[in-house]
A and B are shown apart, each in its own frame.
Chain A
């Protein structure tokens, strides 16, 4: 069981994009080191990207200049049967585990592009849990490793 702690700074669009890529590479490195399969790695990277961009865009972390600033603290724990990812941020309270998903699109003209990230995360996590703790969002997601059956 290995625990890795990462920190991602939100400080403007260009910086966030660069930070996200930096942290993704670190996370991928940890997962490769522990021989986590490609499907679980893909899922971990998807949850990282979708949750961080959600906090950045909708978390209300805006300074006077209108630029999102803040930190997302990330823990990655590689367990024998699954990977546990935990995200902590000080954005607006948002529980993705109970949030309503938009209806599936019926056609291009009427298709909404919002809610895609939520649907994507739901599609890859085995289990997830949210709580609001001391003014922070605390999201924990468990992603199954291939060939293992998490309890």
Chain B
């Protein structure tokens, strides 16, 4: 699991995840993910377009980060999930907890709106 960080606006950061968001992937990326997302004190867009698989461990990581950010007054939005990943996220109603958009522009509007 790889992670990249890009500033997209003054108070918005985009985190690109690449790989499998399963037990092994979360084990490898969670500390860096939290450092990049939660500790940034900015809104965060999570690019899932290169994520090929997500399990409950991955969803837990995303929910925990979004919850921590909410406490700090920031929002987290997901975008670009491939079809099978999107189905998995919708199956656990993740779209009820955080914006789940098709592209980065829509995700940006969701966190700034």
Which A residues have a C-beta under 8 Å from some C-beta of B? 16-18, 20-21, 24, 38-39, 42, 45-46, 49-50, 53, 104-109, 111, 113, 116-117, 119-120, 123
Question: Closest approach, in angstroms, between the C-beta of A51 and any C-beta of chain B?
Answer: 11
Question: Closest approach, in angstroms, between the C-beta of A17 and any C-beta of chain B?
Answer: 5
Interface flag for B97 (CB, 8 Å): yes
Interface flag for B55 (CB, 8 Å): yes
Contact assessment for B57 and A53 in the assembled complex, using a CB-CB cutoff below 8 Å: yes
Question: Closest approach, in angstroms, between the C-beta of B113 and any C-beta of chain A?
Answer: 16
A120/B23 contact (C-beta < 8 A), A49-B55, A105-B96 known: no
Question: Closest approach, in angstroms, between the C-beta of B31 and any C-beta of chain A?
Answer: 15
Contact assessment for A120 and B91 in the assembled complex, using a CB-CB cutoff below 8 Å: yes
Contact assessment for B24 and A111 in the assembled complex, using a CB-CB cutoff below 8 Å: no
Nearest-CB residue, chain B, relative to A107? B97
A109/B96 contact (C-beta < 8 A), A42-B84, A49-B22, A50-B55 known: no
- A-contact 0/1 string along B21-64, CB 8 Å cutoff: 01110010000000000000000000000000101110110011
Interface flag for B92 (CB, 8 Å): yes
Query: For B88, what are the chain A residues with a Cβ–Cβ distance below 8 Å?
Result: 46, 120, 123
Interface flag for B14 (CB, 8 Å): no
Question: Closest approach, in angstroms, between the C-beta of A78 and any C-beta of chain B?
Answer: 19
Query: For A123, what are the chain B residues with a Cβ–Cβ distance below 8 Å?
Result: 87-88, 91
CA–CA, A52 to B56, complex, Å?
12
Question: Closest approach, in angstroms, between the C-beta of A61 and any C-beta of chain B?
Answer: 16
CA–CA, A122 to B22, complex, Å?
18
Query: For A104, what are the chain B residues with a Cβ–Cβ distance below 8 Å?
Result: 93, 96
Nearest-CB residue, chain A, relative to B75? A108
Interface flag for B109 (CB, 8 Å): no
Contact assessment for B60 and A113 in the assembled complex, using a CB-CB cutoff below 8 Å: yes
- A-contact 0/1 string along B63-90, CB 8 Å cutoff: 1101100100000000000001001100
Query: For B27, what are the chain A residues with a Cβ–Cβ distance below 8 Å?
Result: 17
Contact assessment for A17 and B23 in the assembled complex, using a CB-CB cutoff below 8 Å: yes
A-B pairs with beta carbons under 8 Å apart, 9 shown: A17-B24, A20-B22, A105-B96, A111-B67, A111-B97, A113-B56, A113-B64, A116-B92, A117-B56
Most buried by B among A18, A107, A108: A108
Query: For A120, what are the chain B residues with a Cβ–Cβ distance below 8 Å?
Result: 55-56, 88, 91-92
Query: For B93, what are the chain A residues with a Cβ–Cβ distance below 8 Å?
Result: 104-105
